[in-house]
Structure 1
């Protein structure tokens, strides 16, 4: 399904900043878009995001909600100053064969498609957490949003700009402090097993080292004894001692 949007959003100019995120410098629809601190998700970032979204499929993820949440762009040309001009395409973000940039539809930040998308994936993430973690009480979306909101406020106070990719990944990878999902626990168990396997080897190395330390003094002593015997067995070759007058 092709996403229907206003005809004036046809291109944008983006730049890569020091934080490794892409930001919009210019946009064709100046009437509806403010480019100040307007980020855009690059193809590499979306590949990672898409992997995280795939894990939500069995929990009821609606792919149409994803497509509706983004405007898609492809690279048109590189322009002066290391910037890139992107051209609007009407392709599905999930089904496109080309690597596309994704601009969230935040024309209505409260009730627009991107807001609906964030709410949708937040609900699914909480469902996943309650399925995979045994909480004393069911974890709620409100609790998750409170934690993430506090993090965003701290970033703002510290002068860090919030990028769409950071906002989205923080939801898709969210786990409450002090907990881990089953996949994380399995990885930890495997690492512990590896440490146990190496512990036997370490013990053997320690035993060998101790034996070597015990042998070294004995060998030194043996050489000292042989040197003393050689000194005792060496005959005196000098003449008779002078008599004192």
Structure 2
């Protein structure tokens, strides 16, 4: 593993149509298969870190995050949604860091990333069994089987499962027919999509020019006329909603 670490110095990533970053070229092609190899961007990593609070209460060792991923920083923009990254030090748990995270999957069965996924699954299952009244104990194998089936279905459609999707499918997993409504539960994926990407220009000496494919910031080019008409509609809807009682929240729902 030490020899691999010395050879892995940089990689080139591209922004896919799914708004995820994928490895296109790597400095150590001998040990790394880049076919379907995704990399977690800084915004996605912050989102993952936020969601680890809950599973940490059920035994997940958050420090595994540091060893499961190899840290990269932006070197330069290559244009057309491509960026060159160089290996760096730092911590994913430091909020002021702008780091890309490459899963350490050189040894798929015994890699640090594989251990990270196993421990994450174990903690999520423990959490579900604690918060939901199952007829029988929900098992790790059941969760792993469902995740694997979803990945195989995507593969049959010619789509690779991105590492961020794999992690969040575990952190967000709830068996069909059940639901959780926790007061301290983190924001939904919809909220994540609307977040601003960290300001990478302040972190690098060489600034990065944005192009149309690098969707890191919210689009400011709105149609002013549409905004004006939408405002009137929203005012009418607000008046109607004021008369409706707020829905009550339930912590656990039994199977339907």
Same fold? TM cut 0.5: yes
> Structure 1, unaligned stretches of length 5 or more?
187-193, 200-245
Cα deviation, residue 82, structure 1? 3.3
Mapped pair 1:13 → 2:59: no
Q: Is this contact kept in 2: 1:132–1:182, CA < 8 A? A: no
Mapped pair 1:123 → 2:122: yes
Aligned residue number for residue 25 of structure 2:
26
Q: 1:195 to 1:139 in 2, by over 3 A?
A: farther
Mapped pair 1:95 → 2:94: yes
Cα deviation, residue 92, structure 1? 2.3
- CA root-mean-square deviation: 2.3
Mapped pair 1:85 → 2:131: no
Q: Is this contact kept in 1: 2:52–2:62, CA < 8 A? A: no
Aligned length: 189
Matches within 5 A, 1:58-77: 58-77=57-76
Larger Rg: 1
Cα deviation, residue 64, structure 1? 2.3
Aligned residue number for residue 162 of structure 2:
163
Aligned residue number for residue 198 of structure 1:
244
String of CA shifts for 1:165-213, please: whole Å, max 9, x gaps: 11111011100000012428x9xxxxxxx989627xxxxxxxxxxxxxx
Q: 1:156 to 1:42 in 2, by over 3 A?
A: same
Cα deviation, residue 125, structure 1? 0.1
Q: Is this contact kept in 1: 2:39–2:163, CA < 8 A? A: yes
Mapped pair 1:48 → 2:94: no
Mapped pair 1:147 → 2:146: yes
Cα deviation, residue 40, structure 1? 0.4
Q: Which moved more, 1:94-103 or 1:111-120?
A: 94-103
Report the structure, 1 or 2, having the larger helix content: 1
Q: Is this contact kept in 2: 1:11–1:27, CA < 8 A? A: yes
Cα deviation, residue 45, structure 1? 1.1
Q: 1:73 to 1:4 in 2, by over 3 A?
A: farther
TM-score, normalised by the number of residues in structure 1: 0.71
Aligned residue number for residue 214 of structure 1:
none
